[in-house]
Structure 1
Amino acid sequence: MFDNELYVQTSGVAMGAAFAPSIANLYMTNFEKELIKHSAFADKILCWYRFIDDIFMLWGGTLIELNSFHTWLGTCDQYIQFTMQSSMDNIQFLDVDISLDVHNNFSTKVFIKLTDRNTFLKFDSSHSRKLKESLPFSQMVRIRRNCSSLTDYSAQSKDLSSKLELRGYPRRTLNRAQKRVKYLNCDHLLHQLKGIPPGDHEEDQETFETFVTRYCSKSKVAVDIIKRNWEIVNLHPCFENSKLRIAFSRNQNLKEILSPSFISCKLPKYPSKDIVLGHYKCGSCNICSITKECKEFFNPQDQKKYVLRHFTNCKSTFVVYLIICPCDKFYVGMTSRDLRTRMREHKSNLKLGRCSEVIVEH
């Protein structure tokens, strides 16, 4: 949907759609069954693992045969193109760096891109303290899961601690998380939720009701009130013997507030009487004579009427403006300076006949 109109996408899937990964998986699964398994190269593929559109493969043929296989893949489907990286002893797949030693044993560690930046959540950000204190632990668990040796874990967890310390995390919290994760069973981390064997989940024996709310500086007050009165909630048959669990969802950040991806075209139901909407002349410049005072304008191209949702005049800055020619063609421009300065430039260009300008050329 765009501008309250529905459009049909005739090819591909919209980027960012929730169902896009599922469609990609279904498409690639069929691709593998129909083409890969019945290809002339099938006996050379020792293993084939795929995560959506990333593939890890062990090849049992020569390098020339591998390049031929890659070329063949590019001819199978016009909508799918493959890029390839190959090595005899080291390869990266997703966030894992996989190496093969002289004894033909695999070793793994976390793969960190050269373009990686320290963008971890700042410790002084407006998030619950439990979330911020659990972040080092969860990141250490990820490193421990991906590192096959304690030596690699120690080096990479130390590097992570340095990055988190730059983001304001207390050294004590980082040391505690690093030591706590170091002795976790790596096999459990790979195959079980948080390394806890089946049957040890406390939540399996108890019923929890989760209270979800957006986090803010006053959230603790609301949570304390609910905790104090939870016994009253337990009186209801639906919540009998259930325990309370608190979960905070993320609140709006500055980017979402200042530059939302979707801007509502609706005006307030009851706009303030003090707010004057529309464009008006400032009354003190020579641009006033060529501007039009209006609260709405008509677009001759799409035959629609648009309401001005802000107050502007000749002195306004950061303005998108519309210049209409008598032939009904129009020019849309924008400026971060005041509107009258930009309009004076247009007048000067017309007067001097600067044909490099679009308006003058027209």
Structure 2
Amino acid sequence: MIRHLEVSFITPTFYLLPKIHKNPRVPPGRPIVSGMGGLCDAVCKFIDFYLQPLVETLPSHVRDTSDVLRRLNGLTADEGILLVTLDVETLYTNICHEHGLRAVEYFLSMSNWAPPLQQLILELLEFILTHNVFTFGERFYLQRRGTAMGAACAPSYANLFLGYWEREVFGGGVPASSHAQCWLRFIDDIFVIWGGTTSELEGFVRHLNSNSFNIYLTFHVDPIKVDFLDINISLTDQRLVSTDIYRKPSSVNALLHASSGHPKFTINAIPTGQFIRLKRICSETGVFEDRANEMRDRFRARGYSTRSIKKAYKRARSTPRDQLLLRFNPNTTRCTEPKIRFVSSFNRQWEHIRGILSKHWPVLQTEPVLRNTLPDRPLMTARRGRSLRDMLVHSHYSRPNKLPFSTGRPLVGSFPCGSCIACRHGNIVRATSFTSSSGARTFDIRHYISCNSTGIIYYATCNCNLIYVGLTSRELKVRTREHVRDIIAAKQVKLEDVDTLKTIPRHFRVHHRSEVLR
């Protein structure tokens, strides 16, 4: 019988992603509030499930690069047109709650969903927008305007907000809007084919920036070529719209190295995927050949064999570009039936596990019930394992402890990190020594110990001056949280059954009930 169910949430963390492509020396930051595992995370995903179909109905919306290429394929431009890109400045943090909710309500009213469901979505969305609590350093904050960029429903919410604004631009008689012969938008990035003059474009943008939606746009215009997403869009001598791949000046050769510990099938698929991407984006054969030569050099620098590079190139060259532009490949069989998969974190034994499953799979298929459920062969999905980056880099910022480096003495003692749940709740304290329960002896801590330390002997104190000494081979913070959970769960145990409890929860159940463990 389950006596206690503890549900814990992670407080979202604020951090910045530096935009080094804009200013490598003093890069501006993209504000992110990581909401994964937070209180509103599941609700955000629920709302996004219903908002995404509404986004698909927007005339200007493009899903990705492939969608842009499909819209531009075979497009011919008139004489004197201008290529323009617009960018909405700091969109997510500038959306007023009132305008955003009004936009979502408008598009929900155009759907065929029941009114109670529409009302539920609006109320949940309002709750998310007004309860975006996050932490930075050692303080908690409430976002009062805009939406968190890390929320699952944020892109759909922002898309609908701009779609509602676009109704006024093209449906409300905005001056010179008829010159926009093509208007494609990927969230806050907009591509326009402009049929008017430069002065008319400048007046059009000024008028767009005079709005009540708190929207401000910057623009770049060129009669020959512009960059949009990862595409370089230009005009040929025949006035055809041509596309080429675009790499930012700050881009480096970040292809996964061939000697990486990733699954072999993942590494083998990277050259094929990259050459196929080149063939899809490059509208002219000569441009594709030039970019393919550059990509060959990048793959060789990352340790890929000539054979794998040549095989990937030949496959991309022989595939018709029109086929690559299709949203769904007609040669691919799409299976709608759910499949049972073996899911686990990737490790060195992955191929060995695959061999075991394949060897004994026929045994499972001899069972009458499983025969109709299991696929013909085992399907395996590898989760990404914990990397060195995951261990060294954390989005949560905490001020570093003042360490006695200037004294020249080795750092010894117990130190909380200040970022994990055990340290934030005060379960792990900073100390350089500890005293016995009788107070007769004091013991110095001779090593450096933190909440991430493993294979240590630890002690826990109680308000009644009793000390519990334990040993753990795991991280101290993991063992500490287990003690806390055991104490909370012990509150449901009757006093006559306390002998079934472990030492610490039994002591707190009998003597203290809900006292705090340190």
Give the TM-score normalised by structure 2.
0.49
Shift, 1:252, TM fit = 1.3
Is 2:360 the partner of 1:223? no
Q: Distance between the aligned counterparts of 1:106 and 1:73, measured in 2?
A: 26
Letter of the structure 2 residue corresponding to residue 221 of structure 1: H
What letter corresponds to residue 21 of structure 1 in structure 2?
P
1:278-331 Cα deviation digits (max 9, x unpaired): x9x9xxx999xxxxx9999xxxxxxx9734467758998999xxxxxxxxxxxx
- Among candidates 230, 235, 246, match of residue 380 of structure 2: 246
Contact 1:150 1:182 in 2 (8 A): no
CA distance in 1, matches of 2:275, 2:391: 32
Q: 2:234 aligns with which of 91, 95, 99?
A: 99
Question: Is 2:369 the counterpart of 1:237?
Answer: yes
Cα distance between partner residues in 2 of 1:12 and 1:258: 31
What stretches of structure 1 of length at least 5 have no aligned partner? 264-278, 288-292, 297-303, 320-362
Tell me, yes or no, if the aligned pair for 1:136 and 1:177 is still in contact at 8 Å.
yes
CA 1:286 to 1:228, structure 2 compared with 1: closer, same or farther past 3 Å? closer
> Deviation per CA, 1:108-159, whole angstroms, max 9, x where unpaired?
1101111111111111111101100100101111110000111111111111
* 1:159 correspondence with 2:297: no
1:222-249 alpha-carbon deviations (Å, 9 max, x no partner): 1211122222333353552623322222
What CA distance in whole angstroms lies between the structure 2 residues aligned with 1:169 and 1:120? Answer: 10
Rounded Cα–Cα distance in structure 2 between residues aligned with 1:103 and 1:171: 38
Rounded Cα–Cα distance in structure 2 between residues aligned with 1:190 and 1:294: 59
The structure 2 residue matched to 1:64, chosen from 193, 199, 207, is 199
1:256 maps to 2:390? yes
CA distance in 2, matches of 1:207, 1:286: 62
**Deviation of residue 208 (structure 1)?**
4.3
Tell me the secondary structure at the aligned position of residue 217 of structure 2: coil
* Identical columns (%): 26
Distance in 1 of aligned mates of 2:427 and 2:379:
47
1:13 alignment partner, one of 122, 147, 151: 147
Letter in 1 for 2:143: Q
- Match in the other structure for 1:201: 332
Alignment of 1:306-317 (within 5 A): 306-308=426-428
Q: 1:203, CA displacement in angstroms?
A: 4.9
Question: After superposition, what is the alpha-carbon deviation per residue over 1:252-274, rounded to whole angstroms, capped at 9, x for unaligned?
Answer: 111111233369xxxxxxxxxxx
CA spacing shift, 1:185–1:76, aligned 2, 3 Å: same
Q: Distance in 2 between matches of 1:295 and 1:63?
A: 62
Deviating more after overlay: 12-21 vs 60-69: 12-21
Identify the structure with bigger relative contact order (alpha carbons < 8 Å, sequence gap 6+).
2
Q: How does 1:129-144 map to 2 (within 5 A)?
A: 129-144=264-279
Could you state the TM-score of these two structures normalised by the residue count of structure 1? 0.69
How many angstroms apart in 2 are the aligned matches of 1:111 and 1:318?
49
CA distance in 2, matches of 1:238, 1:42: 61
**Alignment check: 8 A CA contact 1:74 1:82 kept:** yes
1:54 and 2:185 aligned: no
In structure 2, the residue matched to 1:336 is none
Q: Does the aligned pair in 1 maintain the 2:176–2:204 contact within 8 Å? A: yes
Which residue number corresponds to residue 214 of structure 1? 345
Q: What is the aligned partner in structure 2 of residue 117 from structure 1?
A: 252
Cα offset, 1:43, TM superposition = 1.3
- Give the distance between the partners of 2:256 and 2:270, measured in 1 at CA: 9
What letter matches 2:369 in structure 1? Answer: P
With over 3 angstroms needed to count, the CA separation of the structure-2 counterparts of 1:71 and 1:218, relative to structure 1, is same
In the alignment, structure 1 residue 127 sits paired with structure 2 residue 223? no
CA distance in 2, matches of 1:187, 1:317: 62
Preserved CA contact (<8 Å) 1:140 1:157: yes
d(CA) in 2 for partners of 1:71, 1:226: 64
CA distance in 1, matches of 2:168, 2:339: 46
Change (3 A) 1:84 1:309: same
Amino acid at match of 1:12: G
Q: Structure 2 regions of 5+ residues with no counterpart?
A: 1-10, 14-37, 40-130, 134-141, 417-423, 434-444, 451-518
Q: Does 1:25 align with 2:159?
A: yes
Find the counterpart in structure 1 of residue 95 from structure 2: none
C-alpha distance 78-192 of structure 1, shift in aligned 2 (>3 A): closer
Q: 1:70 to 1:239 in 2, by over 3 A?
A: farther
Superposed structure 1 runs of 4+ greater than 6 Å apart: 3-6, 293-296, 313-319
Taking the aligned partners of 1:9 and 1:62, their CA distance within structure 2 comes to: 41
Q: Tell me by how many angstroms 1:46 deviates.
A: 0.8
Q: Distance in 2 between matches of 1:166 and 1:73?
A: 47
Distance 1:108 1:225, change over 3 A: same
Question: 184, 195, 200: which is aligned to 2:319?
Answer: 184
**SS across alignment from 1:86:** strand
Q: How many residues align?
A: 285
Q: What does the per-residue CA deviation read over 1:166-190, in whole Å, with 9 as the maximum and x for residues that have no partner?
A: 1111111011101111121101101
